[in-house]
């Protein structure tokens, strides 16, 4: 029995000859937002203000700056300089992103993923237990950077605006460090002089 789909052409799939499995899935929220972002940029559809979901990550939570947090985490001066450059590179990209609602949404979701992955795979099992900086950085790459980059590459395959790289994701991590959302040392274990 032949089925006829007279819906919108965007919702139709025509398959002539098939010699394997066909998997059709609905678009995710992420892929829809990447597509919407391309449309917003193409039509220069600007967004006024900052989404509440993003405001949280733009808010500085305490007074300790990024270089101090990284130094406390065992980073050398040259590593801190590289981190500062990556953070600043991302901060410039963020300024551009604020003009587009979908870019703000994507960044807020990426920040949330980065923070949760960092907490679960880096902070709790490694930083809190005094692991070496090299172990911590390896976990950051494997458990935070790669999954975020994979999400971006899969869901944002049509992205023509953000084009985030591994270095940009590191920049996001250091940006969150500068806003005190991410720590590289277990400050809870520091005993006061009382």
The per-residue pLDDT for range 148-170, each reduced to its tens digit, is 999 999 999 989 999 999 999 99
Confidence grade of residue 187 (pLDDT, cut at 50, 70, 90) = confident
Residue 121 sits at φ, ψ, to 5 deg, of -100, -15
* Diameter over CA atoms, the chain: 81
Q: What is the pLDDT of residue 1?
A: 52
Nearest to 54 by CA among 109, 114, 117, 118: 109
Q: What is the pLDDT of residues 110-126, one digit of tens each?
A: 999 999 999 999 999 99
Tokens of residue 19, six digits: 């010699």
pLDDT at 75 over 90: yes
Q: What is the pLDDT of residue 15?
A: 65
Q: Measure Cα distances from 37 to 10, 21, 56 in Å.
A: 18, 31, 21
Residue 54, C-beta contacts closer than 8 angstroms, at least 6 positions apart: 104, 105, 107, 108, 111
Q: Specify whether the CB–CB gap between 57 and 180 falls below 8 A.
A: no
Q: What is the pLDDT of residue 20?
A: 72
Angle at 98 (CA atoms; ends 30, 52), nearest 5 degrees: 70
What is d(CA 191, CA 6) in angstroms, rounded to the nearest whole number? 69
In the predicted model, what is the mean pLDDT of residues 170-175?
98
**DSSP assignment string, 73-108:** TT--HHHHHHHHHHHHHHHHHHHHHTT-HHHHHHHH
């Amino acid at each position: 029995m032949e089925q006829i789909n007279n819906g919108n052409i965007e919702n139709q799939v025509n398959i002539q000859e098939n010699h394997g499995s066909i998997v059709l899935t609905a678009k995710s929220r992420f892929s829809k937002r990447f597509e919407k972002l391309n449309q917003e940029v193409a039509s220069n559809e600007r967004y006024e203000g900052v989404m509440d979901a993003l405001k949280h990550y733009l808010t500085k939570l305490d007074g300790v700056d990024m270089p101090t947090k990284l130094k406390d985490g065992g980073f050398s001066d040259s590593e801190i300089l590289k981190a500062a450059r990556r953070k600043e590179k991302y901060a410039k990209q963020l300024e551009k992103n604020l003009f587009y609602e979908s870019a703000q949404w994507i960044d807020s979701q990426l920040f949330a993923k980065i923070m949760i992955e960092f907490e679960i795979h880096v902070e709790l099992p490694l930083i809190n237990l005094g692991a070496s900086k090299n172990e911590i950085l390896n976990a950051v790459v494997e458990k935070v950077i790669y999954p975020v980059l994979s999400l971006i590459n899969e869901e944002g395959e049509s992205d023509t605006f953000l084009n985030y790289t591994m270095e940009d994701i590191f920049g996001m991590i250091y940006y969150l460090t500068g806003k005190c959302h991410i720590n590289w040392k277990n400050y809870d274990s520091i005993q006061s002089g009382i």
